[in-house]
A and B are shown apart, each in its own frame.
Chain A
Amino acid sequence: MNIDASVLKHNERAIFALRELYSGYGYAQYKMSKFEEYDLYVRNKEFLVSDNIITFTDKSGRLMALKPDVTLSIIKSSDKPLADGGVYKVYYDENVYRVSGDTDAFKEIPQAGLVCIGDVDDYNIYEVLMLALRSLATVSDSFVLDVSDLDVIAAVMDPMGLADADKAEVMKCIGEKNAHGVKAVCERAGVPADKLIRLVTSYGAPSKVIPVLREILPEDSMCLADRFEKITSAIESEGFAGRINIDFSVTGSVKYYNGYVFKGFVDGISSGILSGGQYDRLMARMHRTSRAIGFAMYLDLLERLTIDSGEYDVDCVLLYDEECSIDALRDAVNMLKLGGKSVTAIKQIPDKMKYRQLLRLNERGVQILENNA
Protein backbone atom coordinates (compact mmCIF):
# COMPACT_ATOMS: atom_id res chain seq x y z
CA MET A 1 0.00 0.00 0.00
CA ASN A 2 1.43 3.36 -0.98
CA ILE A 3 0.44 6.27 1.23
CA ASP A 4 1.08 9.87 0.27
CA ALA A 5 2.72 11.23 3.45
CA SER A 6 1.33 14.70 2.71
CA VAL A 7 -2.19 13.55 3.61
CA LEU A 8 -1.08 12.47 7.09
CA LYS A 9 -1.55 14.79 10.04
CA HIS A 10 1.52 15.82 11.99
CA ASN A 11 0.78 13.41 14.86
CA GLU A 12 0.00 10.52 12.49
CA ARG A 13 3.37 10.99 10.78
CA ALA A 14 5.04 11.17 14.19
CA ILE A 15 3.43 7.90 15.33
CA PHE A 16 4.75 5.98 12.28
CA ALA A 17 8.23 7.45 12.73
CA LEU A 18 8.28 6.75 16.47
CA ARG A 19 7.16 3.12 16.05
CA GLU A 20 9.99 2.58 13.59
CA LEU A 21 12.46 4.34 15.90
CA TYR A 22 11.57 2.42 19.07
CA SER A 23 11.24 -1.02 17.46
CA GLY A 24 14.64 -0.42 15.80
CA TYR A 25 16.19 -0.32 19.28
CA GLY A 26 14.48 -3.53 20.37
CA TYR A 27 11.47 -2.06 22.18
CA ALA A 28 8.36 -4.25 21.86
CA GLN A 29 4.95 -2.66 21.36
CA TYR A 30 2.76 -2.70 24.45
CA LYS A 31 -0.98 -2.87 23.83
CA MET A 32 -3.42 -2.30 26.61
CA SER A 33 -7.10 -2.02 27.35
CA LYS A 34 -8.64 1.39 27.81
CA PHE A 35 -9.73 0.67 31.39
CA GLU A 36 -7.91 0.04 34.62
CA GLU A 37 -9.05 -0.35 38.24
CA TYR A 38 -9.35 3.11 39.79
CA ASP A 39 -7.49 1.95 42.89
CA LEU A 40 -4.17 1.91 40.95
CA TYR A 41 -4.42 5.67 40.34
CA VAL A 42 -5.70 6.60 43.79
CA ARG A 43 -2.60 5.06 45.34
CA ASN A 44 -0.29 6.99 43.00
CA LYS A 45 -2.19 10.24 42.42
CA GLU A 46 0.83 12.52 42.54
CA PHE A 47 2.56 10.54 39.77
CA LEU A 48 -0.21 11.56 37.37
CA VAL A 49 -0.18 14.78 35.34
CA SER A 50 -3.73 15.43 36.55
CA ASP A 51 -5.65 13.65 39.31
CA ASN A 52 -9.00 14.22 37.60
CA ILE A 53 -9.98 10.79 36.35
CA ILE A 54 -13.06 9.56 34.49
CA THR A 55 -14.51 6.67 36.48
CA PHE A 56 -17.39 4.23 36.08
CA THR A 57 -18.64 1.09 37.80
CA ASP A 58 -18.31 -2.08 35.75
CA LYS A 59 -20.82 -4.94 35.71
CA SER A 60 -19.20 -6.67 38.70
CA GLY A 61 -19.35 -3.52 40.81
CA ARG A 62 -15.65 -2.60 40.58
CA LEU A 63 -14.78 1.07 40.24
CA MET A 64 -12.91 1.43 36.96
CA ALA A 65 -11.14 4.35 35.27
CA LEU A 66 -10.53 5.40 31.71
CA LYS A 67 -6.73 5.35 31.66
CA PRO A 68 -5.19 8.74 32.48
CA ASP A 69 -1.68 7.28 32.24
CA VAL A 70 0.18 4.37 30.62
CA THR A 71 3.29 3.93 32.78
CA LEU A 72 1.45 2.70 35.88
CA SER A 73 -0.29 -0.03 33.85
CA ILE A 74 3.00 -1.16 32.31
CA ILE A 75 4.64 -1.38 35.74
CA LYS A 76 1.64 -3.23 37.12
CA SER A 77 1.86 -5.78 34.31
CA SER A 78 5.64 -6.24 34.69
CA ASP A 79 5.33 -8.51 37.69
CA LYS A 80 7.46 -11.38 36.31
CA PRO A 81 10.94 -11.42 37.86
CA LEU A 82 13.71 -10.60 35.39
CA ALA A 83 17.03 -12.46 35.21
CA ASP A 84 20.03 -10.59 36.67
CA GLY A 85 21.00 -7.81 34.27
CA GLY A 86 17.74 -8.28 32.38
CA VAL A 87 15.68 -5.34 31.15
CA TYR A 88 12.15 -5.24 29.85
CA LYS A 89 11.80 -2.65 27.06
CA VAL A 90 8.41 -1.63 25.71
CA TYR A 91 6.97 1.26 23.75
CA TYR A 92 3.39 2.36 23.31
CA ASP A 93 1.18 4.72 21.39
CA GLU A 94 -2.12 4.99 23.15
CA ASN A 95 -4.82 7.49 23.98
CA VAL A 96 -5.14 8.60 27.59
CA TYR A 97 -8.01 10.51 29.17
CA ARG A 98 -7.47 13.38 31.54
CA VAL A 99 -8.17 17.04 32.16
CA SER A 100 -6.21 19.23 29.81
CA GLY A 101 -4.46 22.15 31.48
CA ASP A 102 -5.42 24.45 28.61
CA THR A 103 -9.14 23.89 28.57
CA ASP A 104 -9.84 22.59 32.08
CA ALA A 105 -11.99 19.91 30.46
CA PHE A 106 -11.52 16.18 29.87
CA LYS A 107 -9.70 15.35 26.67
CA GLU A 108 -8.58 12.27 24.78
CA ILE A 109 -4.82 12.73 24.44
CA PRO A 110 -2.70 10.68 22.05
CA GLN A 111 0.55 9.80 23.74
CA ALA A 112 3.59 7.79 22.66
CA GLY A 113 6.53 6.76 24.75
CA LEU A 114 8.66 4.01 26.11
CA VAL A 115 9.54 2.31 29.37
CA CYS A 116 12.69 0.43 30.31
CA ILE A 117 12.34 -1.71 33.46
CA GLY A 118 14.86 -3.97 35.17
CA ASP A 119 18.56 -3.71 35.94
CA VAL A 120 18.74 -0.20 34.42
CA ASP A 121 22.38 0.83 33.96
CA ASP A 122 24.12 3.90 32.53
CA TYR A 123 23.85 2.55 28.97
CA ASN A 124 20.05 2.20 29.37
CA ILE A 125 19.87 5.78 30.67
CA TYR A 126 21.96 7.01 27.73
CA GLU A 127 19.75 5.05 25.31
CA VAL A 128 16.49 6.43 26.72
CA LEU A 129 17.81 10.03 26.65
CA MET A 130 19.09 9.52 23.11
CA LEU A 131 15.71 8.09 22.02
CA ALA A 132 13.98 11.07 23.64
CA LEU A 133 16.13 13.37 21.49
CA ARG A 134 15.49 11.29 18.36
CA SER A 135 11.75 11.40 19.15
CA LEU A 136 11.88 15.20 19.25
CA ALA A 137 13.81 15.19 15.97
CA THR A 138 10.93 13.30 14.29
CA VAL A 139 8.60 16.25 14.81
CA SER A 140 10.81 19.32 14.39
CA ASP A 141 14.24 20.55 13.35
CA SER A 142 14.29 22.96 16.27
CA PHE A 143 14.19 21.12 19.60
CA VAL A 144 16.00 20.83 22.90
CA LEU A 145 16.07 18.30 25.74
CA ASP A 146 16.60 19.66 29.26
CA VAL A 147 17.99 17.12 31.71
CA SER A 148 18.21 17.45 35.47
CA ASP A 149 19.47 15.08 38.16
CA LEU A 150 17.42 14.99 41.36
CA ASP A 151 20.34 13.28 43.13
CA VAL A 152 22.51 16.35 42.41
CA ILE A 153 19.85 18.67 43.88
CA ALA A 154 19.61 16.43 46.97
CA ALA A 155 23.40 16.29 47.32
CA VAL A 156 23.57 20.10 47.37
CA MET A 157 20.47 20.68 49.50
CA ASP A 158 20.56 17.86 52.09
CA PRO A 159 23.72 18.99 53.95
CA MET A 160 22.06 22.39 54.51
CA GLY A 161 19.68 20.87 57.07
CA LEU A 162 16.54 22.64 55.81
CA ALA A 163 13.17 21.65 57.28
CA ASP A 164 10.90 19.59 54.99
CA ALA A 165 8.55 22.55 54.35
CA ASP A 166 11.51 24.75 53.35
CA LYS A 167 12.90 21.99 51.13
CA ALA A 168 9.55 21.76 49.34
CA GLU A 169 9.54 25.54 48.85
CA VAL A 170 13.10 25.49 47.55
CA MET A 171 12.19 22.70 45.07
CA LYS A 172 9.27 24.82 43.84
CA CYS A 173 11.59 27.81 43.38
CA ILE A 174 14.16 25.67 41.54
CA GLY A 175 11.36 24.58 39.18
CA GLU A 176 10.54 28.26 38.52
CA LYS A 177 14.20 29.34 38.09
CA ASN A 178 13.34 31.62 40.95
CA ALA A 179 16.73 32.54 42.45
CA HIS A 180 15.28 35.40 44.54
CA GLY A 181 12.78 32.92 46.05
CA VAL A 182 15.56 30.46 46.96
CA LYS A 183 17.47 33.32 48.58
CA ALA A 184 14.43 34.35 50.63
CA VAL A 185 13.82 30.80 51.95
CA CYS A 186 17.50 30.35 52.86
CA GLU A 187 17.65 33.74 54.59
CA ARG A 188 14.55 32.86 56.61
CA ALA A 189 16.08 29.48 57.56
CA GLY A 190 19.45 31.06 58.35
CA VAL A 191 21.48 28.95 55.90
CA PRO A 192 23.77 30.12 53.07
CA ALA A 193 22.01 30.27 49.70
CA ASP A 194 24.98 30.60 47.35
CA LYS A 195 25.26 26.95 46.23
CA LEU A 196 21.53 26.60 45.57
CA ILE A 197 21.48 29.89 43.68
CA ARG A 198 24.33 28.69 41.48
CA LEU A 199 22.33 25.50 40.84
CA VAL A 200 19.25 27.52 39.80
CA THR A 201 21.13 30.00 37.63
CA SER A 202 23.40 27.46 35.90
CA TYR A 203 21.79 25.98 32.81
CA GLY A 204 22.82 25.23 29.28
CA ALA A 205 25.35 22.98 27.59
CA PRO A 206 26.93 20.27 29.78
CA SER A 207 30.37 21.83 29.17
CA LYS A 208 29.09 25.00 30.86
CA VAL A 209 27.18 23.44 33.77
CA ILE A 210 29.30 20.44 34.81
CA PRO A 211 32.27 22.63 35.94
CA VAL A 212 29.81 24.49 38.19
CA LEU A 213 28.64 21.17 39.65
CA ARG A 214 32.24 20.26 40.45
CA GLU A 215 32.48 23.48 42.47
CA ILE A 216 29.27 23.09 44.46
CA LEU A 217 28.91 19.33 45.01
CA PRO A 218 30.28 17.86 48.26
CA GLU A 219 33.42 15.75 47.69
CA ASP A 220 31.61 12.46 48.36
CA SER A 221 29.04 13.26 45.62
CA MET A 222 31.52 14.22 42.90
CA CYS A 223 30.75 10.92 41.16
CA LEU A 224 27.37 12.46 40.17
CA ALA A 225 29.15 15.11 38.05
CA ASP A 226 31.40 12.44 36.51
CA ARG A 227 28.40 10.30 35.59
CA PHE A 228 26.48 13.27 34.18
CA GLU A 229 29.49 14.15 32.02
CA LYS A 230 29.92 10.57 30.77
CA ILE A 231 26.26 10.20 29.74
CA THR A 232 25.82 13.66 28.19
CA SER A 233 29.08 13.44 26.24
CA ALA A 234 27.99 10.07 24.76
CA ILE A 235 24.74 11.76 23.67
CA GLU A 236 26.50 14.83 22.26
CA SER A 237 28.79 12.64 20.17
CA GLU A 238 25.67 11.06 18.64
CA GLY A 239 25.11 14.39 16.84
CA PHE A 240 23.10 16.08 19.57
CA ALA A 241 25.59 18.73 20.69
CA GLY A 242 23.63 21.93 21.31
CA ARG A 243 20.40 19.94 21.69
CA ILE A 244 20.93 18.62 25.21
CA ASN A 245 21.04 21.05 28.11
CA ILE A 246 21.47 20.57 31.82
CA ASP A 247 18.68 22.46 33.56
CA PHE A 248 17.75 21.84 37.18
CA SER A 249 14.38 23.52 36.77
CA VAL A 250 13.14 20.15 35.49
CA THR A 251 11.90 18.53 38.67
CA GLY A 252 9.48 15.81 39.69
CA SER A 253 7.90 14.52 42.86
CA VAL A 254 10.69 12.95 44.93
CA LYS A 255 8.13 10.42 46.16
CA TYR A 256 8.29 8.80 42.73
CA TYR A 257 11.30 10.09 40.85
CA ASN A 258 15.01 9.84 41.51
CA GLY A 259 18.11 10.48 39.41
CA TYR A 260 17.61 11.86 35.93
CA VAL A 261 14.42 13.69 34.96
CA PHE A 262 14.02 15.42 31.63
CA LYS A 263 11.72 17.51 29.48
CA GLY A 264 11.71 18.07 25.73
CA PHE A 265 10.74 21.33 24.01
CA VAL A 266 10.02 22.10 20.37
CA ASP A 267 10.13 25.61 18.93
CA GLY A 268 6.56 26.77 18.30
CA ILE A 269 4.93 24.75 21.11
CA SER A 270 4.53 26.74 24.30
CA SER A 271 4.89 23.86 26.76
CA GLY A 272 7.05 20.76 27.09
CA ILE A 273 6.10 18.10 24.54
CA LEU A 274 8.09 15.27 26.12
CA SER A 275 8.50 14.40 29.74
CA GLY A 276 10.32 11.56 31.45
CA GLY A 277 12.65 10.33 34.12
CA GLN A 278 13.85 7.57 36.38
CA TYR A 279 11.17 6.33 38.74
CA ASP A 280 12.78 3.70 40.94
CA ARG A 281 10.84 5.11 43.90
CA LEU A 282 7.52 4.52 42.14
CA MET A 283 8.68 0.94 41.45
CA ALA A 284 9.43 0.47 45.16
CA ARG A 285 5.99 1.87 46.10
CA MET A 286 4.49 -0.73 43.76
CA HIS A 287 6.56 -3.47 45.46
CA ARG A 288 8.95 -3.97 42.53
CA THR A 289 12.66 -4.44 43.20
CA SER A 290 13.85 -3.39 39.74
CA ARG A 291 14.62 0.11 38.48
CA ALA A 292 12.86 1.98 35.69
CA ILE A 293 13.21 4.90 33.29
CA GLY A 294 10.92 6.10 30.52
CA PHE A 295 9.23 9.02 28.84
CA ALA A 296 6.01 10.08 27.20
CA MET A 297 5.47 12.39 24.27
CA TYR A 298 2.21 14.36 24.11
CA LEU A 299 1.22 14.13 20.48
CA ASP A 300 -1.90 16.31 20.80
CA LEU A 301 0.44 19.31 21.13
CA LEU A 302 1.68 18.75 17.58
CA GLU A 303 -1.56 20.34 16.37
CA ARG A 304 -0.01 23.65 17.37
CA LEU A 305 2.93 23.33 15.01
CA THR A 306 1.99 25.36 11.99
CA ILE A 307 1.58 23.25 8.93
CA ASP A 308 0.23 24.97 5.85
CA SER A 309 -3.18 23.34 5.60
CA GLY A 310 -3.60 25.00 2.20
CA GLU A 311 -5.54 27.98 1.09
CA TYR A 312 -8.23 25.82 -0.54
CA ASP A 313 -10.52 23.02 0.66
CA VAL A 314 -10.33 21.35 -2.75
CA ASP A 315 -8.70 21.99 -6.15
CA CYS A 316 -11.80 21.52 -8.33
CA VAL A 317 -15.51 21.72 -7.69
CA LEU A 318 -17.37 19.96 -10.48
CA LEU A 319 -21.02 20.96 -10.61
CA TYR A 320 -23.52 18.64 -12.25
CA ASP A 321 -27.31 18.31 -12.51
CA GLU A 322 -29.95 15.60 -12.85
CA GLU A 323 -29.31 15.34 -16.61
CA CYS A 324 -25.70 14.11 -16.17
CA SER A 325 -25.15 10.36 -16.39
CA ILE A 326 -23.03 8.49 -13.85
CA ASP A 327 -20.65 7.42 -16.63
CA ALA A 328 -20.06 10.99 -17.85
CA LEU A 329 -19.53 12.19 -14.30
CA ARG A 330 -17.13 9.32 -13.52
CA ASP A 331 -15.06 10.07 -16.66
CA ALA A 332 -14.89 13.79 -15.88
CA VAL A 333 -13.78 13.19 -12.28
CA ASN A 334 -11.17 10.62 -13.40
CA MET A 335 -9.82 13.02 -16.03
CA LEU A 336 -9.35 15.81 -13.48
CA LYS A 337 -7.81 13.43 -10.94
CA LEU A 338 -5.30 12.21 -13.54
CA GLY A 339 -3.93 15.73 -13.50
CA GLY A 340 -3.19 15.25 -9.77
CA LYS A 341 -6.02 17.50 -8.61
CA SER A 342 -8.48 16.87 -5.79
CA VAL A 343 -12.05 16.93 -7.06
CA THR A 344 -15.46 17.05 -5.49
CA ALA A 345 -18.52 16.44 -7.69
CA ILE A 346 -21.55 18.17 -6.20
CA LYS A 347 -24.80 19.81 -7.26
CA GLN A 348 -24.57 22.84 -4.96
CA ILE A 349 -21.50 24.59 -3.58
CA PRO A 350 -21.53 24.38 0.24
CA ASP A 351 -21.25 27.68 2.11
CA LYS A 352 -17.72 28.99 2.65
CA MET A 353 -16.05 26.25 0.56
CA LYS A 354 -12.79 27.54 -0.96
CA TYR A 355 -11.73 26.04 -4.32
CA ARG A 356 -9.17 26.78 -7.03
CA GLN A 357 -11.44 26.06 -9.95
CA LEU A 358 -15.18 25.85 -10.44
CA LEU A 359 -16.33 23.66 -13.31
CA ARG A 360 -19.65 22.48 -14.70
CA LEU A 361 -20.42 19.24 -16.51
CA ASN A 362 -23.10 19.55 -19.21
CA GLU A 363 -23.92 18.00 -22.56
CA ARG A 364 -20.98 19.86 -24.18
CA GLY A 365 -18.46 18.47 -21.67
CA VAL A 366 -16.59 20.17 -18.80
CA GLN A 367 -16.74 23.99 -18.77
CA ILE A 368 -14.61 26.24 -16.57
CA LEU A 369 -16.79 28.74 -14.69
CA GLU A 370 -14.27 30.27 -12.32
CA ASN A 371 -10.51 30.23 -11.86
CA ASN A 372 -9.16 31.35 -8.47
CA ALA A 373 -5.55 30.30 -8.86
Chain B
Amino acid sequence: MKTMLNVALPKGRLGEKVYAMFERAGFECPSIKETGRKLIFENPEAGVRYFWVKPSDVAIYVEHGAADIGVAGKDILLEYEPDVYELYDLDIGKCRMAVAAKKGFRYSADKTLRVATKFSNITRNYYASQGRDIDIIHLNGSIEIAPILGLSDVIVDIVETGTTLKENDLEVFETIVPISARLIANKSSFKFKGDAIERIMAGLETEKADK
Protein backbone atom coordinates (compact mmCIF):
# COMPACT_ATOMS: atom_id res chain seq x y z
CA MET B 1 0.00 0.00 0.00
CA LYS B 2 1.25 3.46 -0.89
CA THR B 3 2.35 5.55 2.12
CA MET B 4 -0.07 8.42 2.64
CA LEU B 5 1.31 11.93 2.97
CA ASN B 6 -0.82 13.99 5.37
CA VAL B 7 -1.09 17.63 4.37
CA ALA B 8 -2.57 20.37 6.57
CA LEU B 9 -3.97 23.22 4.49
CA PRO B 10 -5.07 26.57 5.91
CA LYS B 11 -8.83 27.08 5.52
CA GLY B 12 -9.81 29.95 3.27
CA ARG B 13 -8.69 31.56 0.05
CA LEU B 14 -4.98 31.00 0.68
CA GLY B 15 -5.61 27.28 1.28
CA GLU B 16 -7.52 26.97 -1.99
CA LYS B 17 -4.65 28.64 -3.84
CA VAL B 18 -2.18 26.29 -2.15
CA TYR B 19 -4.26 23.21 -3.04
CA ALA B 20 -4.29 24.31 -6.68
CA MET B 21 -0.47 24.45 -6.58
CA PHE B 22 -0.28 20.96 -5.05
CA GLU B 23 -2.73 19.67 -7.64
CA ARG B 24 -0.61 21.02 -10.47
CA ALA B 25 2.43 19.43 -8.81
CA GLY B 26 0.76 16.01 -9.24
CA PHE B 27 -0.88 15.57 -5.83
CA GLU B 28 -4.49 15.96 -6.88
CA CYS B 29 -7.49 14.99 -4.76
CA PRO B 30 -10.69 15.80 -6.69
CA SER B 31 -13.01 15.16 -3.71
CA ILE B 32 -11.64 18.28 -1.98
CA LYS B 33 -13.63 20.42 -4.43
CA GLU B 34 -16.97 18.95 -3.36
CA THR B 35 -19.03 21.35 -1.30
CA GLY B 36 -19.96 20.27 2.21
CA ARG B 37 -18.64 20.29 5.72
CA LYS B 38 -16.13 17.48 5.35
CA LEU B 39 -12.64 18.42 6.51
CA ILE B 40 -10.56 15.40 5.46
CA PHE B 41 -10.08 14.29 1.86
CA GLU B 42 -7.86 11.59 0.47
CA ASN B 43 -6.67 10.19 -2.79
CA PRO B 44 -4.97 6.83 -2.12
CA GLU B 45 -3.75 6.65 -5.72
CA ALA B 46 -1.79 9.88 -5.38
CA GLY B 47 -0.82 8.86 -1.81
CA VAL B 48 -2.09 12.09 -0.30
CA ARG B 49 -4.57 13.07 2.41
CA TYR B 50 -5.52 16.73 2.82
CA PHE B 51 -7.25 18.35 5.75
CA TRP B 52 -8.46 21.88 6.28
CA VAL B 53 -7.47 23.47 9.58
CA LYS B 54 -7.49 26.96 11.05
CA PRO B 55 -4.46 28.80 9.54
CA SER B 56 -2.90 29.43 12.95
CA ASP B 57 -3.17 25.70 13.80
CA VAL B 58 -1.32 24.36 10.74
CA ALA B 59 2.07 24.56 12.47
CA ILE B 60 0.71 22.72 15.53
CA TYR B 61 -0.58 19.83 13.40
CA VAL B 62 2.77 19.61 11.63
CA GLU B 63 4.95 19.96 14.73
CA HIS B 64 3.08 17.15 16.48
CA GLY B 65 3.20 14.89 13.44
CA ALA B 66 -0.58 14.75 12.80
CA ALA B 67 0.32 16.30 9.44
CA ASP B 68 3.56 15.49 7.64
CA ILE B 69 3.63 18.82 5.85
CA GLY B 70 1.54 21.97 5.79
CA VAL B 71 1.45 25.53 4.61
CA ALA B 72 1.66 28.31 7.17
CA GLY B 73 2.30 32.05 7.05
CA LYS B 74 5.72 33.29 8.16
CA ASP B 75 3.88 35.36 10.81
CA ILE B 76 2.66 32.16 12.50
CA LEU B 77 6.14 30.60 12.32
CA LEU B 78 7.76 33.66 13.88
CA GLU B 79 5.10 33.97 16.56
CA TYR B 80 4.92 30.35 17.73
CA GLU B 81 8.42 29.18 16.74
CA PRO B 82 7.36 25.58 16.09
CA ASP B 83 10.11 22.94 15.82
CA VAL B 84 9.59 22.20 12.12
CA TYR B 85 11.51 22.47 8.86
CA GLU B 86 10.70 25.54 6.78
CA LEU B 87 11.34 24.07 3.35
CA TYR B 88 10.01 26.46 0.80
CA ASP B 89 8.76 30.01 0.29
CA LEU B 90 5.63 29.70 -1.88
CA ASP B 91 5.69 33.43 -2.62
CA ILE B 92 1.93 33.73 -2.18
CA GLY B 93 -0.13 35.35 0.57
CA LYS B 94 2.41 38.16 0.57
CA CYS B 95 2.10 40.95 3.13
CA ARG B 96 4.28 42.42 5.89
CA MET B 97 4.44 42.59 9.66
CA ALA B 98 4.60 46.27 10.53
CA VAL B 99 4.46 48.84 13.29
CA ALA B 100 1.62 51.29 12.66
CA ALA B 101 0.65 54.45 14.51
CA LYS B 102 -1.46 57.59 14.24
CA LYS B 103 -0.21 59.96 11.56
CA GLY B 104 2.65 62.09 12.82
CA PHE B 105 3.61 59.71 15.63
CA ARG B 106 7.20 59.79 16.92
CA TYR B 107 8.96 57.57 19.48
CA SER B 108 9.33 59.32 22.80
CA ALA B 109 12.55 58.31 24.57
CA ASP B 110 11.32 59.16 28.08
CA LYS B 111 8.26 56.86 28.10
CA THR B 112 7.71 53.13 27.93
CA LEU B 113 6.18 52.40 24.54
CA ARG B 114 2.74 50.76 24.72
CA VAL B 115 2.22 48.28 21.87
CA ALA B 116 -1.09 46.58 21.09
CA THR B 117 -0.81 43.37 19.10
CA LYS B 118 -1.92 39.80 18.46
CA PHE B 119 1.73 38.90 17.86
CA SER B 120 3.32 39.26 21.30
CA ASN B 121 6.38 37.12 20.58
CA ILE B 122 7.27 38.89 17.33
CA THR B 123 6.75 42.26 19.03
CA ARG B 124 8.88 41.33 22.07
CA ASN B 125 11.73 40.05 19.87
CA TYR B 126 11.62 43.06 17.56
CA TYR B 127 11.82 45.68 20.30
CA ALA B 128 14.34 43.61 22.32
CA SER B 129 16.62 43.67 19.26
CA GLN B 130 16.35 47.49 19.35
CA GLY B 131 16.89 47.67 23.12
CA ARG B 132 13.57 49.48 23.59
CA ASP B 133 11.46 49.07 26.73
CA ILE B 134 7.82 48.27 25.89
CA ASP B 135 4.53 47.24 27.46
CA ILE B 136 2.65 44.70 25.35
CA ILE B 137 -1.15 44.86 25.32
CA HIS B 138 -2.31 41.55 23.86
CA LEU B 139 -5.50 41.89 21.79
CA ASN B 140 -7.32 39.28 19.72
CA GLY B 141 -8.81 41.53 17.04
CA SER B 142 -9.66 45.09 15.91
CA ILE B 143 -6.10 46.07 16.79
CA GLU B 144 -6.39 49.28 14.75
CA ILE B 145 -8.63 51.01 17.26
CA ALA B 146 -6.13 50.70 20.13
CA PRO B 147 -4.09 53.85 19.30
CA ILE B 148 -7.25 55.80 18.41
CA LEU B 149 -8.74 55.13 21.83
CA GLY B 150 -5.43 55.76 23.62
CA LEU B 151 -5.04 52.11 24.64
CA SER B 152 -1.61 51.97 23.01
CA ASP B 153 0.92 54.23 21.27
CA VAL B 154 1.46 51.89 18.31
CA ILE B 155 0.25 48.55 17.00
CA VAL B 156 2.12 45.63 15.50
CA ASP B 157 0.02 43.82 12.93
CA ILE B 158 -0.10 42.33 9.44
CA VAL B 159 -0.47 44.91 6.71
CA GLU B 160 -1.58 43.80 3.27
CA THR B 161 -2.77 46.83 1.31
CA GLY B 162 -2.86 49.38 4.13
CA THR B 163 -6.53 50.26 3.41
CA THR B 164 -7.76 49.39 6.94
CA LEU B 165 -4.99 51.52 8.44
CA LYS B 166 -5.80 54.44 6.15
CA GLU B 167 -9.51 54.28 6.93
CA ASN B 168 -8.66 54.46 10.64
CA ASP B 169 -6.27 57.36 10.19
CA LEU B 170 -3.19 55.23 10.86
CA GLU B 171 -0.04 54.72 8.82
CA VAL B 172 2.82 52.24 8.70
CA PHE B 173 5.64 53.54 10.89
CA GLU B 174 8.16 50.80 10.18
CA THR B 175 8.23 47.34 8.59
CA ILE B 176 9.38 44.48 10.82
CA VAL B 177 9.48 41.60 8.36
CA PRO B 178 7.98 40.57 5.01
CA ILE B 179 5.47 37.70 5.25
CA SER B 180 4.48 34.98 2.80
CA ALA B 181 3.22 31.38 2.88
CA ARG B 182 5.83 28.71 3.64
CA LEU B 183 5.88 24.96 3.13
CA ILE B 184 6.72 23.36 6.48
CA ALA B 185 7.45 19.74 7.38
CA ASN B 186 7.52 17.64 10.51
CA LYS B 187 11.15 16.74 11.22
CA SER B 188 10.50 13.04 11.73
CA SER B 189 8.18 12.75 8.71
CA PHE B 190 10.91 14.28 6.58
CA LYS B 191 13.13 11.30 7.45
CA PHE B 192 10.57 8.63 6.60
CA LYS B 193 8.49 10.28 3.86
CA GLY B 194 11.27 12.43 2.43
CA ASP B 195 10.84 11.21 -1.17
CA ALA B 196 7.20 12.30 -1.39
CA ILE B 197 7.97 15.62 0.31
CA GLU B 198 10.82 16.30 -2.10
CA ARG B 199 8.55 15.47 -5.06
CA ILE B 200 6.10 18.10 -3.85
CA MET B 201 8.89 20.63 -3.40
CA ALA B 202 10.21 19.93 -6.88
CA GLY B 203 6.70 20.33 -8.33
CA LEU B 204 6.21 23.65 -6.54
CA GLU B 205 9.61 24.86 -7.67
CA THR B 206 8.89 23.98 -11.32
CA GLU B 207 5.62 25.84 -11.13
CA LYS B 208 7.30 28.93 -9.65
CA ALA B 209 9.98 28.83 -12.36
CA ASP B 210 7.30 28.58 -15.10
CA LYS B 211 5.54 31.74 -13.91
Contacts and interface: CB of A to CB of B under 8 A. Distances in A.
B63 interface: yes
A152 to B, nearest CB: 19
Given A146-B191, A265-B191, A271 B86 contact: no
A10 B84 CA distance: 26
A180 B65 contact: no
B86 A270 contact: no
Contact of B191 (A102, A144, A178): A144
B89 interface: yes
Given A144-B191, A146-B191, A265-B191, A270 B64 contact: yes
Interface in B35-89: 63-65, 83-89
B188 A178 contact: no
Interface residues of A, number: 19
B127 interface: no
A176 interface: yes
Contacts of A360: none
A265 B86 contact: no
Contacts of A325: none
Contacts of A271: 65, 83, 187-188
A270 B85 CA distance: 13
Interface in B156-192: 186-192
B6 to A, nearest CB: 11
A181 B192 CA distance: 24
A273 to B, nearest CB: 9
Contacts of B190: 177
Contacts of A245: 191
A180 B191 contact: no
B192 A270 contact: no
A274 to B, nearest CB: 12
A316 to B, nearest CB: 37
Contacts of B85: 176-178, 249
Contacts of B64: 102, 270
A180 B89 contact: yes
B199 to A, nearest CB: 15
Interface string B89-103: 100000000000000
Among B83, B88, B188, the most chain A Cβ lie within 10 Å of the Cβ of B188
A271 B66 CA distance: 12
A272 interface: yes
A142 B89 CA distance: 30
Given A270-B63, A270-B186, A181 B86 contact: yes
B89 A176 contact: no
A245 B192 CA distance: 12
Contacts of A270: 63-65, 186-189
Nearest to A142: B192
A52 to B, nearest CB: 16
B186 A176 contact: no
B27 to A, nearest CB: 20
B87 A177 contact: yes
Interface of A: 101-102, 142, 144, 146, 176-178, 180-181, 245, 249, 265-267, 269-272
7 contacts: A142-B192, A177-B86, A178-B86, A265-B188, A266-B188, A267-B188, A272-B187
